[in-house]
Structure 1
Amino acid sequence: MKRVLFIDRDGTIINEAPPTYQIDDFSKLEFYPYMFTYLTKIAAELDYELVMVSNQDGLGTDAFPESTFTPVHDFIMKALENEGIHFSAVHIDRSFPHEGLDTRKPSIGMLKDYLDKEKYDLENSYVIGDRITDVQLAKNLACKAIWLNNDPSLGGGEIADAVEALREVVAMETTEWKAIYEFLKQGLRVVEHERYTHETKISIKLNLDGTGKADIATGLGFFDHMLDQIARHGKLDMTVHAKGDLHIDEHHTIEDTGIALGEAFAKALADKRGMERYGFALPMDEAEAKVLVDFGGRNWLVWNAEFKREKIGEMPTEMFFHFFKSFSDAAKCNLNIECKGDNEHHKIEAIFKAFAKAIRMAVKRDPFSNHLPTTKGLL
């Protein structure tokens, strides 16, 4: 699924021109400071589809003829293209008056194609704009807003009380494109994810660039201990809260946690540029575990580990394979797991620790690299 940046034009890419705010003459054209520098980096380094969305009141009427708008707009688009900034689509609403119409921002009439959940990941997409209507558009699209609040009359740096309900939609508020770039570059790998079924309710918070903080509560003590190993040895900040039908057995809780955790990883690794992709490791006392991982976008599990005990703690040993299979399927990664040893506790703990170390190696990212670790051009 593609993530999208829905970008407003006036006040965001170019400065607006009061009192009419219509950029209908080259004398009014001024690009937003450092927009080219950082939007070029966003286009080159980050995996987003760029879509322009703009309201142009009465465009095509005598008051705002096409002949004054088009030359300036075409110049803007060509200037962007010359810097490697390519918009896949430009959506312009020209209605005026506009009461009752669903094409004008913040309505989403122009953007219905992007509601296809099979093609677009709106949950991890953003609207970048300078007005409250852009924040409202983000809410209507069920994505987040980056508010480039450069006009004190729009709220003085804070969302007005009348629209305080929109506060949760705003992922960041700034006046600089540099801050937008840094946020998008560094903020991709922190996610919150929920998976609710009739059998389980699972909430996950995941920071791939954390320090090893863990808050685990699944109702299964040994399983909690193993998930804690992933966080601490993988240096991930990870919260996993699961409530499942343990009065039946452990199966659904363990399986669905594996699925939910894999889904969270898939979201956090939506942009794989600069990451290592592969990882492996680890011995523990007499036990030897090897875990190979490849976050290459395809799921596969090779499992070469046997356990002689039916349970370790209250966790059935048959569920170890099932957990990693669920994770592999949801995270779309290859896992090759092998272990040998005498102590069953040591064996499975070695596997989880090796899994954590493998993840740590694979998700490590070089902040100075824009390399996508594949010859295919897509992960």
Structure 2
Amino acid sequence: MRQTEITRNTTETKITCKLNIDGSGQHKIQTKIGFLDHMLELFTRHGRFDLELICDGDVEVDGHHTAEDVAIVIGRAFSKCLGDRRGIMRYGSMLLPMDEALILAALDISGRGIACLQLEIPAAQIGGFDTELVEEFFIAFARELGAAIHLQQLAGKNSHHIVEGCFKGFGRALAQGVAINLAAPEEIPSTKGTIL
């Protein structure tokens, strides 16, 4: 099974993480930011990843450090689990409806980290969580995993639904990308012979 444990301590956050990417969607998540916990729970459930993550961050300042550092740690954990990327499908995509919202999530685990978000989130905050941190989260995740992540809002007016669609869609797209290609389980999915 592809699993790992990571600890990352800085002056701003202290994070412990256990990840099993071949799990069933079990989670224990505590970031001190309720909305972020909820989004990560949705991500793990829809991706069927097992995740234990505890973050003690400086939320008295704001949620920026916690959101970014949590993404760094989870992205790094996925990268560690995937090793040299041998046998993975590499690509994943999902067109996810969330009530009136419709989100396209697509990714390529290419070794090149970039996040391209086309979202129009009406509210500046959801449950005390700054919605501008959605982009910061996915930028950090993309960088650490080495993946091109695209999230595009095709429809939607409710801020909660838009962001929820992003995390659910991303979980499902990532599950496709990290899945083992049974037709070529020993191949690096690149004509270059390497992804890292």
What TM-score do the two structures reach when normalised by structure 1? 0.50
Query: What is the aligned partner in structure 1 of residue 120 from structure 2?
Result: 306
Identity of aligned residues (%): 40
Q: Determine whether 1:320 maps to 2:134.
A: yes
Which one of 97, 109, 127 corresponds to residue 283 of structure 1? 97
Query: What is the aligned partner in structure 2 of residue 203 from structure 1?
Result: 16
Once residues 273 and 267 of structure 1 are traced to their aligned partners in structure 2, the CA distance between those partners, rounded to angstroms, is 12
Query: What is the aligned partner in structure 2 of residue 248 from structure 1?
Result: 61
Contact 2:5 2:77 in 1 (8 A): yes
Q: How far does residue 367 in structure 1 lie from its aligned partner after superposition? A: 5.0
Deviations 1:172-204 (A, max 9, x none): xxxxxxxxxxxxxxx4x2000111100100111
Once residues 114 and 86 of structure 2 are traced to their aligned partners in structure 1, the CA distance between those partners, rounded to angstroms, is 22
**1:334-373 superposed matches below 5 A:** 334-339=148-153, 340-366=155-181, 369-373=185-189
Give the length in aligned residue pairs. 192
Q: Determine whether 1:227 maps to 2:43.
A: no
Once residues 367 and 208 of structure 1 are traced to their aligned partners in structure 2, the CA distance between those partners, rounded to angstroms, is 16
SS of 1:265 mapped into structure 2:
helix
Once residues 366 and 249 of structure 1 are traced to their aligned partners in structure 2, the CA distance between those partners, rounded to angstroms, is 41
Deviations 1:199-236 (A, max 9, x none): 10011111010010011000011100000011100000
Contact 2:17 2:54 in 1 (8 A): yes
Contact 2:122 2:157 in 1 (8 A): no
Once residues 158 and 62 of structure 2 are traced to their aligned partners in structure 1, the CA distance between those partners, rounded to angstroms, is 25
Q: Which letter does structure 1 place at the counterpart of 2:50? A: D
SS of 1:280 mapped into structure 2:
strand
What TM-score do the two structures reach when normalised by structure 2? 0.95
Once residues 234 and 360 of structure 1 are traced to their aligned partners in structure 2, the CA distance between those partners, rounded to angstroms, is 5
Once residues 285 and 342 of structure 1 are traced to their aligned partners in structure 2, the CA distance between those partners, rounded to angstroms, is 10
Query: What is the aligned partner in structure 2 of residue 377 from structure 1?
Result: 193
Higher RCO (CA < 8 A, seq sep 6+): 2
Query: What is the aligned partner in structure 1 of residue 27 from structure 2?
Result: 214
Q: Which letter does structure 1 place at the counterpart of 2:179? A: K
Q: Which letter does structure 1 place at the counterpart of 2:63? A: E
Contact 2:22 2:49 in 1 (8 A): yes
Query: What is the aligned partner in structure 2 of residue 190 from structure 1?
Result: 3
Q: Counting strand residues as a fraction of each chain, which structure ranks higher?
A: 2
**1:250-269 superposed matches below 5 A:** 250-269=63-82
Larger Rg: 1
Q: Which letter does structure 2 place at the counterpart of 1:294? A: D
Once residues 270 and 237 of structure 1 are traced to their aligned partners in structure 2, the CA distance between those partners, rounded to angstroms, is 18
Once residues 193 and 309 of structure 1 are traced to their aligned partners in structure 2, the CA distance between those partners, rounded to angstroms, is 33
Q: Which letter does structure 2 place at the counterpart of 1:239? A: E
Q: How far does residue 271 in structure 1 lie from its aligned partner after superposition? A: 3.2
Q: Which letter does structure 2 place at the counterpart of 1:348? A: V
Contact 2:3 2:21 in 1 (8 A): yes
Query: What is the aligned partner in structure 2 of residue 82 from structure 1?
Result: none
Q: Which runs of 5+ in 2 are unaligned?
A: none
Q: Which runs of 5+ in 1 are unaligned?
A: 1-186
SS of 2:150 mapped into structure 1:
strand
Q: Which letter does structure 2 place at the counterpart of 1:373? A: P
Once residues 116 and 62 of structure 2 are traced to their aligned partners in structure 1, the CA distance between those partners, rounded to angstroms, is 26
Q: How far does residue 371 in structure 1 lie from its aligned partner after superposition? A: 2.1
Once residues 195 and 290 of structure 1 are traced to their aligned partners in structure 2, the CA distance between those partners, rounded to angstroms, is 31
**Over aligned residue pairs, what C-alpha RMSD do you find?**
1.1
